[in-house]
Structure 1
């Protein structure tokens, strides 16, 4: 079997794509500089900050909906084949997913301009995303076959998978319009390391009673797998040059794209605040190291036709290969190197926050002189409570999460934020975030779905973030 065919078949059975992590704990956590990465229009009072390279922003998320590892492998006395059939094959549906993403900040910094209303951010991070949806009809065919499923049309369009690895350069402006409104915009330059996607597939496979044989099977398919960068990486593995190849592509030597982030923070009054942001509104144009595979056509096959005794008289006949050739004639498996555009997974955040309790003095320069601008730093409150909305564009349509949160500040030394999130992975996702300020050093750590840590095998979702920054507020 040729390598491209093997790759196509493997992706049939191992769908794996991703699209972006919900950073609900980090969102609007204004004590942490990285909160600007999920809302360019966040309220910020820093004079400048610098992330410690490779340590300022580490995040990892993985999710599996529909079934957990424990559902299949728990020592509960049930037959594992029965559990696979009932809980996975028939217990899941095509909207269930396996997804994951990670992000590592390589460089991160921000500084206030000559006009103190303007705060600039810049940096670079590497990001990998993947998500794959459960292809139930494929699983039924593999587990049970089609002999007793006559006239049942299996949906080949259930295959939806997408993934990418890229380096992202960004430059942003956060502007305080007045004491109530802060807006922000960030431009991004994407440098792709590799990409693959197979999301617009159509087709059916159906078996009926045959005319010239017991059964006839009809395949009708319009399927495509698009890839960039994978062939070059395979060659790099063989040549021992993976590191240099990845570095070259990450530093603008790969397929390039552009994107924008937008955001704002608006104070309805001194205690009530609304925020929103739109992230990764962009695309990547893939034109280098392209390899696409297509399966397009229709064929009805009734198996191998053997005419005796003529067939026995020809020892060189390869009946199986003849069958494969017949199928390929009707449903051609082809490849090409056509360039393509891949859109980024756009994300939308929004929140409503109510502040109350004791006031916590702001550390920012008061800007009290004759040249003072609208950059009057607001005092913070010891307590905040509110709700957040998160929406991400997915191959099967928008996906949403709702979060309630409570934040507690202990002076300017420490802040805690706890969240309760409802999404497709869990209805009991409790998260906790901690930010500690020791002089100029900021340390933060966050984790989701804490109730599952007692039995990770039974969890559908896990996520953590951590980082280390140096922050200055300027002279008082």
Structure 2
């Protein structure tokens, strides 16, 4: 039990190097260099940028599509057991999810090519990951009520789905302005996995029926698997419980983060296209890739089928037979038919592919605007003309591939610039976590220093315990613009 607790705590609380999944506030907010990370083909109105190490991109996200902390622990006069039964055990479904993610950029920079000003290169290293646990509804009912009053009901073992990881990512991208209407971008990635665990595509059932020889007969059919890499190594270090545990964990983390773990490759793709005057279409596909896990492996399987009616005792003979351990015989029979095994087989993990698409329309007079579009090249673009909007409205679609199928979010946004110093973006997002998600993003430019802060679901900050979703991100950059 201690090991499972460590695994859950590590996945939910210990992943400091993670990243947020949906970044609708950051997407196409191109004054912020980190917008390149969600669309490699976004507009790039800078000569170069440099993120402040460890401070250029820090963020977190947490969500629950089912109950909240307040649903269980609010002082509302309802018995706690009643709330657990009505709101959790029977109130949630197998597609309800508890998830958490976050981000930290170790370093991040970019520069415009001197020989080809239409090309902008970016590079860096960041940590990312997430944890996700889907509600195992049938297993929760079985644990809460037991099987005695649920005869002939098949409890679906396929409801058991969970996944989590921490991974370090090294990346290099190229953003190119093809002409006055089209920007294209591509980013190559090298993944170094710190740890990962996943259990999905499980199947099987447990059912209790009327027995022939005894009162009840239990049947278990199971095809379950939990794959892990790096987890056992971390648990072994924690189990040592010595004076050097802290230093050992740091050394282990550094080793796994810098090519000492399991490696993979991936790529991001993106574009920005001008549909008409002041109307733009953008899109990106992120994390098309995989990680091949070959070391630090420990996988667990439970496969087989068994039916039993408990212990069959023949009276009076069995009462005086001291040579037979009938309890052990029962255990041995079950383990033979449904063996619990471990192995160290290598496995491949596909990255959680993410899709972004948006359309936006700019309006409002801006400094340096001209009646006709002019493709004059980046080397002659001034900073005022580099920002092609005062006001902007549009919509954004986000889709991510998840263990139980794609999850989508739809966002409407309004963006406003105040000179060359301040830009604001507000969003309204609908997804599986919330229908009332209002977000606000602020970008401040003080000389070469860039500061941004992005916060989602502002209505939930009044009572975090009763909120289904929270997201926050901020960072500092140094930027040299095209006119500097």
TM-score by length of 1: 0.93
CA distance 1:85–1:42, shift in 2 (3 Å)? same
Deviation at 1:369, TM superposition (A): 9.5
The 5 A counterparts of 1:246-261 are 246-261=253-268
Maintained 8 Å contact 1:8/1:225: no
Corresponding position of 1:275: 282
Corresponding position of 1:166: 167
Deviation at 1:212, TM superposition (A): 1.4
1:426 aligns with 2:426: no
CA distance 1:9–1:175, shift in 2 (3 Å)? closer
Corresponding position of 2:53: 53
Corresponding position of 1:112: 112
Task: Give the Cα separation in 2 of the matches to 1:347 and 1:160.
Answer: 20
Deviation at 1:322, TM superposition (A): 3.1
Task: Give the Cα separation in 1 of the matches to 2:176 and 2:469.
Answer: 36
The 5 A counterparts of 1:70-219 are 70-114=70-114, 115-219=116-220
Corresponding position of 2:273: 266
Cα deviation per residue 1:54-108 (whole Å; 9 max; x = unaligned)?
0000110000012111111111111221111111111110110001111100010
SS in structure 2 at match of 1:404: strand
Task: Give the Cα separation in 1 of the matches to 2:478 and 2:190.
Answer: 25
SS in structure 2 at match of 1:142: helix
Deviation at 1:324, TM superposition (A): 2.1
CA distance 1:361–1:292, shift in 2 (3 Å)? farther
Question: Runs of 5+ in structure 1 lacking a partner?
Answer: none
SS in structure 1 at match of 2:364: strand
CA distance 1:360–1:403, shift in 2 (3 Å)? farther
Deviation at 1:353, TM superposition (A): 0.5
Deviation at 1:173, TM superposition (A): 0.1
Maintained 8 Å contact 2:93/2:137: yes
Corresponding position of 1:389: 397
Corresponding position of 2:21: 21
Maintained 8 Å contact 2:179/2:375: no
Corresponding position of 1:303: 310
Deviation at 1:358, TM superposition (A): 2.3
SS in structure 2 at match of 1:54: coil
Corresponding position of 1:416: 424
Task: Give the Cα separation in 2 of the matches to 1:314 and 1:15.
Answer: 51
Maintained 8 Å contact 2:229/2:297: yes
Cα deviation per residue 1:224-276 (whole Å; 9 max; x = unaligned)?
11111111112233262111011011011110000000000011123101100
Corresponding position of 1:37: 37
1:226 aligns with 2:234: no
2:298 to 291, 301, 309: 291
Maintained 8 Å contact 1:19/1:131: no
Deviation at 1:204, TM superposition (A): 0.6
Corresponding position of 2:341: 334
2:412 to 404, 410, 431: 404
Residue correspondences, number: 467
Deviation at 1:21, TM superposition (A): 1.2
TM-score by length of 2: 0.91
Corresponding position of 1:353: 360
Deviation at 1:320, TM superposition (A): 3.9
Question: Which is worse superposed, 14-23 or 74-83?
Answer: 14-23
Corresponding position of 2:462: 454
CA distance 1:371–1:311, shift in 2 (3 Å)? closer
Q: CA RMSD in A?
A: 2.6
Deviation at 1:143, TM superposition (A): 0.5
Deviation at 1:128, TM superposition (A): 2.2
Task: Give the Cα separation in 2 of the matches to 1:434 and 1:263.
Answer: 24
CA distance 1:370–1:359, shift in 2 (3 Å)? closer
Maintained 8 Å contact 2:19/2:103: no
